[in-house]
Amino acid sequence: MNDASTAIRPFEDQDEQAVIGVWHGSGRAAYRFLPTWQALTLERAGEIFREVIRPRCNIWVGTRREHVVAFLAMTGSYIDRMYVDPTEWRRNWGTRLVLLAKTLHPDGLELRTHQENHAARQLYEKHGFRAVKFGLSPPPESAPDVEYHWRPAHLG
């Protein structure tokens, strides 16, 4: 997977539509249990990305043959979003993006995901994240979620 046809690089303006497409398609595939995600239109996803995600996050994209297939959006040490196009699931993108996040923030990371997002939870736990709090995601979803933290061994 780590071959010349794939790369991870900082987000560029021309990546916007591709990132929105990855976010929308991956979210709809991963969150079949969330009516709010199933009702989310590509147009509304674009508005949310432009108004909320892009202004507050540092974003990196994963590309295959120069096409965006994954992205990581972070606010400080918080992993705000990490999505992979469903056609690229199980191709090591999640691991590569988590390792990038750990490199960027070696003193620790935080994130939240849905309790029913078993694939994401398995990935994070495999990389040393620990569940620290169970609760509900903010409205309109209000779905069971879990907060994870990763701390390097030397910080306990």
pLDDT in tens, 102-116: 999 999 999 999 999
- pLDDT, the chain, mean: 94
- Beta pairing, strands 67-75 & 78-84: antiparallel
Name the amino acid, one letter, at 113. T
pLDDT of 17: 97
**What is the three-class DSSP state of 149?**
strand
Question: CA nearest 110: which of 69, 145, 85, 62?
Answer: 145
Give the number of other CB atoms < 10 A from CB of residue 111: 21
CB 84 within 8 A of CB 22: yes
Residues whose CB is less than 8 angstroms from the CB of residue 152 and which lie 6 or more positions away in sequence, other chains included: 102, 106, 107, 108
| β partners of residue 130 | 149
Structure-token match 């709090």, residue found: 133
pLDDT of 128: 97
Residues (pLDDT < 70) of the chain are 1-3, 154-156
pLDDT of 2: 58
CB 49 within 8 A of CB 55: no
pTM above 0.85, yes or no: yes
